[in-house]
Amino acid sequence: MTGKIPNGPASKETSIVHFETKAIHAGRGVDPATGAISIPLHTSTTFERSADGSFPSGFEYTRDANPTRNAFEAAMAALEGGQEAIAFASGMAAIAAIFEAHPSRGRVILPNDMYFGIRSLIDETDVGSRFEFAPVDMRNLEDVRSAVKARPTGLVWIETPSNPMIRLVDIAAVCQIAHEAGALAVVDNTWATPVLQRPLELGADAVMHSATKYIGGHSDMMAGVVVVPSFSALERPLRMIQKHKGSVAAPFDCWLALRGLQTLPVRMRAHCDGALKVANALSALPRVEKVLFPGLASDPGHDLAKRQMTGFGAMLSFIVAGGADAAMAMAGRLKLVVRATSLGGTHSLIEHRASVEGPKSMAPGGLLRMSVGLEHVQDIIDDLMQALAD
Ligand SMILES: *Cc1c(COP(=O)(O)O)cnc(C)c1O
């Protein structure tokens, strides 16, 4: 990373042990110029040279490096236990950069249930023709093993919990299989956040986030970030894609992400508490065929979630009896929970995935996906109850 972060002494950061404290302090410090405790938002695109032509601050041009973006990157690296983070304009920009950056540029193994944007990236841009993609059910480790053995594989993509079926994938086991085959393993950690799950500690070669979701936390910014450990084969190519292809995270979005990080641990705990209560309430209703949520003891991902995560997350899906029409009608009766895509903000959001994804969707017709927000949980439950009553 070029350019220094305008903050207090690095020694203060290295002495920080606990995650909650890192979320507030890592990558930041009191501004030495002004004493401001809130990190300054540096919107300047360019930085002054000295008379001798050097750049005394280390900063030159914001696409290459920006103080606010550097601080966000340093904070993310600290929270995921990585060495470097590279911030992009969106989660999708980060994903596209990873596909392009993986060293062998060979086959990519993907989960068969994953963020739909990746499917669109493959189907509707040149990415689909430049790489070979093979989807597998990553809950089945034998399937992963035969997929990586079938053809030389460069990258194994992991998403857990997955979208929209809320499936759990054993990160450590899949990383090991990938490594035995000489492939890199990358985890999309958007839904769990580093509060609940830290994939680098489980062997992942990189962690990716849509910071648009829980990290920003208020549905008002867009950014993506990739965190890599030391000596990562991905680090330089990702940095060069960021810098030269230019889909960099904007300073203001980085500033909002840094603000979001400060409350991420407490927000995640509140999101998780609410989601478990909502899942239990939905499970008791006859008009709900099934609730997909790893916090339920009956969920196939429950034991793995207990091992791999420090909380069950706040994304859940449920299947309304009567299929797509009944699910749409139920969502149409909601008064508090907002019908909108995306997730991870303060507002509870609900979405009928099959109609959002269109004809290629593999989501069951009756499935509604919900991001449980930070409203009082009884208000959320009451709204769902009234919508499912008639
Ligand atoms: C939203 C999301 C993305 C894409 O991020 P954007 O910021 O919307 O580009 C990728 N993966 C997951 C799991 C997501 O939820």
Residue 322: CA count within 13 A, CB half-sphere: 12
Give the residue-averaged pLDDT of 289-312.
98
Tens-place pLDDT, residues 58-72: 999 999 999 999 999
Same domain (yes/no): 210, 253:
yes
- For residue 265, say if its preceding peptide bond is cis, omega within 30 degrees of 0: no
Check: CB of residue 196 under 8 Å from CB of residue 313. yes
Is residue 213 part of the annotated active site? The answer reads: yes
Tell me the C-alpha distance between 32 and 189, whole Å. 34
Q: Is the CB of 317 under 6 A from ligand 1?
A: no
Instruction: Please check whether residue 143 lies inside any domain of the structure.
Output: yes
Q: How far apart, in whole angstroms, are the C-alpha atoms of residue 238 and residue 224?
A: 12
- The alpha-helical segments, DSSP class H, found in 227-322 are 235-240, 251-283, 302-308
The pLDDT score that the predictor gives to residue 390 is 61
pLDDT tens per residue, range 21-31: 999 999 999 99
Tell me the best of 210, 214, 222, 247 to mutate to test the pocket of ligand 1, counting ligand atoms within 8 Å of each CB and taking the most: 210
Of 113, 170, 188, 299, which one is the catalytic site residue? Answer: 188
In a domain, 156, yes or no: yes
For the stretch 252-263, pLDDT in tens is: 999 999 999 999
pLDDT at 6: 46
The residue among 260, 277, 300 that closes a domain is 260
Catalytic-residue membership of 115: yes
Sheet with 338-339, side-by-side order of all strands? 288-292, 315-320, 367-371, 349-352, 338-339
Q: What is the mean pLDDT of residues 204-231?
A: 98
Q: Are residues 30 and 124 located together in one domain of the fold? A: yes
Distance, CA of 105 to CA of 118 (rounded, Å): 17
Confirm or reject: Cβ of 91 under 6 Å from ligand 1.
yes
For residue 7, give Cα distances in angstroms to 25, 67, 191, 290, 294. 10, 10, 30, 50, 40
Domain-located, residue 1: no
Q: Is the CB of 115 under 6 A from ligand 1?
A: yes
**How many residues in the chain?**
390
pLDDT of residue 206: 98
**Bridging pattern class, strands 107-111 and 315-320:** unpaired
Residues 6+ positions from 90 with CB-CB distance below 8 Å: 210, 212, 222, 223, 224, 247
Instruction: State the CATH number of the domain containing residue 321.
Output: 3.90.1150.10
| Residues 254 and 355 reside in one and the same domain | no
Quick one: what percent of the chain has pLDDT higher than 90? 91
Q: Based on the fold, state whether residues 39 and 186 are members of the same structural domain.
A: yes
Mean pLDDT of 204-214: 98
50 and 81 fall within a common domain = yes
Which residue, 239, 260, 281, sits at the end of a domain? 260
Which is higher by pLDDT, 298 or 4?
Answer: 298
- Is 70 part of a structural domain of the chain? yes
Does the structure show a pLDDT above 60 at 11? Answer: no
| d(CA 28, ligand 1 centre) in Å | 26
Is residue 353 predicted with pLDDT exceeding 50? Answer: yes
Asked whether residue 6 is assigned to any structural domain, the reply reads no
Q: What is the CATH number of the domain that holds 247?
A: 3.40.640.10
> From atom 2 of ligand 1, which residue's Cα is the shortest distance away?
210
Judge whether 4 lies within some domain: no
Predicted local distance difference test score (pLDDT) of residue 1: 42
Give the pLDDT band (50/70/90) at residue 13. low
Query: Looking at ligand 1, which residue's alpha carbon is closest to its atom 6?
Result: 91
Q: Please, which pLDDT band fits residue 14 given cuts at 50, 70 and 90?
A: low
- 248 and 315 assigned to the same domain: no
Q: Are residues 138 and 59 in the same domain?
A: yes
- Residue 105 pLDDT exceeds 80: no
pLDDT at position 265 is 98
**In total, how many domains does the chain have?**
2
50 and 73 both lie in a single domain: yes
pLDDT band at 188 (very low <50, low <70, confident <90, very high): very high
Choosing from 260, 295, 323, the residue where a domain stops is 260
Residues 166 and 66 in one domain: yes
Same domain for 253 and 276, yes or no, is no
Same domain, yes or no: 219 and 339: no
- Ligand 1 center–CA 191 separation, angstroms: 9
Ligand 1 within 6 A of CB of 351: no
Band (88; pLDDT cuts 50, 70, 90):
very high
Please, are residues 227 and 77 in contact by the beta-carbon 8 Å criterion? yes
Asked if pLDDT for residue 248 goes beyond 70, the answer is yes
Range of the domain at 291: 266-389
Nearest residue (CA) to ligand 1, atom 4:
91
Q: Which of 22, 107, 115, 167 is catalytic?
A: 115
Q: With a 6 A CB cut-off, is 117 part of the ligand 1 pocket?
A: yes
> Per-residue pLDDT tens for 151-179?
999 999 999 999 999 999 999 999 999 99
**Catalytic option among 69, 145, 198, 213:** 213
Q: Is 306 a catalytic residue?
A: no
The predicted pLDDT at position 9 comes to: 38
Question: Is 73 in the same domain as 158?
Answer: yes
Q: What is the rounded average pLDDT for all residues in the chain?
A: 94
Residue 5 lies in a domain: no
